[in-house]
Amino acid sequence: MIRSENDFAQHVDYIHFNPVKHGYIEHAVDWAYSSIHRHIAAGMITRGWGWNCETKPDEYGER
């Protein structure tokens, strides 16, 4: 359940970062079918989103 705009943004980040987390790609923009491309086109995030992240193992993990 989405509880707030911030919660929604965290869910979107999780979805964008999930293929990176599981080792399928190196950068979120490398996933051709990701909604990240729409977010970039709309100016909501930059193409380099997540490239310099030093994520903790559970930062984008399931709870």
Compare 56 and 34 and report the one with higher pLDDT.
34
Q: Is the dihedral of CA 12, 15, 39, 1 positive or negative?
A: negative
Give the active site residue among 14, 24, 33, 60: 33
Q: How confident is the model at residue 55 (pLDDT cuts 50, 70, 90)?
A: low
Taking only the tens place, the pLDDT of each residue in 27-46 is 999 999 999 999 999 999 99
Active site residue 33: yes
pLDDT for 62: 54
pLDDT for 50: 84
pLDDT for 58: 53
Q: What is the mean pLDDT of residues 12-16?
A: 95
Question: What is the DSSP code (8-state) at residue 53?
Answer: -
Contact indicator for 55, 28 with CB cutoff of 8 Å: no
Q: What is the mean pLDDT of residues 46-50?
A: 89
